Amino acid sequence: MSAGAAIELAPGAAPDAASEVAALAVHGVSHAYGSREALRNVSLTVPQSRFTALLGLNGAGKTTLFSLITRLYDTRHGSIEVLGHRVSREPGKALRLLGVVFQARTLDLDISVMDNLLYHAALHGIGRREARQRALAALYEIELADRARDAVRRLSGGQMRRVEIARALLHRPRVLVLDEPTVGLDVASRAAILRHVRSLVAERGVAVLWATHLLDEVAIDDAVVVLHRGQVLASGNVSDVVASSSAADMRSAFVALTGSAPEVSE
């Protein structure tokens, strides 16, 4: 299949998936920086309690899409809904249901791990006592409770990412979006973070949108959205996308769709 032809497949979620509202729904979204078009009529759905990989090379438009989902940018063409709440019309309700991990580090390096978590909790209206309890529980879960008082600057890259994920979950969102969360990490940290996020889907039912340019972060039972040069070329279950592309595996399917080889981690 040549690049540019889109495949729309029904994601194989839970049996009642058709009746339940999507965790995240993007409808016909376009965005441009001046004359440069970054996203063109992008539509995708992230089912509830499902891991969905947003696969695209660098420059595909993933970060722009994340900026629109999180309302850093206004959606001027198309619409984005989080569990039925339109981001542009009900930003408060939509953002309360959303946990976000940006590609760039967003922790305050100069204050402690605990203070970073408490700050985030306050930004979601969570009182200090409850916030402290949640933060401690989250730090135990990611095995960093003993680093709570340390300045973030003293953590490793992988530890910072784990703190960012814990922070994103502190207000108990239903949807977690992560923009290239493993960039710059070693293989072991990368695998640990991916494992942790998959466990959130399996054990807590969180819906995840995981943006990556690394093919080996996509599993066969995931939902996948292939984004290339600002356009969605395919979306659905990995097995279905592979089958529709008449390819042997996801790598071949990606090459067939985009004309470019995907990256794998070193």
Residues lying near other proteins in the complex (CB under 8 A): 33-34, 36, 38, 49, 56-64, 67, 70-74, 83, 88, 91-98, 100, 102-111, 115, 118-128, 171-174, 180, 200, 203-206, 213
Q: Whose Cβ is closer to other proteins: residue 88's or residue 260's?
A: 88
Whether the CB-CB separation of 222 and 238 falls below 8 Å is answered with: yes
Interatomic CA distance for residues 38 and 262, integer angstroms:
20
Q: Whose Cβ is closer to other proteins: residue 95's or residue 242's?
A: 95
Task: Give the shortest CB-235-to-other proteins separation in angstroms.
Answer: 19
Task: Give the shortest CB-146-to-other proteins separation in angstroms.
Answer: 21
Task: Give the shortest CB-248-to-other proteins separation in angstroms.
Answer: 27
Task: Give the shortest CB-169-to-other proteins separation in angstroms.
Answer: 8
Q: Whose Cβ is closer to other proteins: residue 138's or residue 206's?
A: 206
Residue 123 burial (CB < 10 Å; 0-12/13-18/19+)?
exposed
CA atoms within 13 A of residue 226's CA, in its CB half-sphere: 31
Q: Whose Cβ is closer to other proteins: residue 20's or residue 143's?
A: 20
Backbone φ and ψ for 85, nearest 5 degrees, come out as: -95, 120
Task: Give the shortest CB-172-to-other proteins separation in angstroms.
Answer: 4
Task: Give the shortest CB-67-to-other proteins separation in angstroms.
Answer: 6
Q: Whose Cβ is closer to other proteins: residue 124's or residue 251's?
A: 124
Structure-token pair, residue 128:
């200090």
**Which three-class secondary structure state does DSSP give residue 220?**
coil
DSSP code string of 106-171: -S-TTSBHHHHHHHHHHTTT--HHHHHHHHHHHHHHTT-GGGTTSBGGGS-HHHHHHHHHHHHHTT
Residue 87 burial (CB < 10 Å; 0-12/13-18/19+)?
buried
Whether the CB-CB separation of 36 and 83 falls below 8 Å is answered with: no
Q: Whose Cβ is closer to other proteins: residue 32's or residue 243's?
A: 32
Interatomic CA distance for residues 184 and 193, integer angstroms:
13
Q: Whose Cβ is closer to other proteins: residue 210's or residue 242's?
A: 210
Distances (CA, A) of 229 to 8, 52, 247: 18, 19, 21
Task: Give the shortest CB-42-to-other proteins separation in angstroms.
Answer: 14
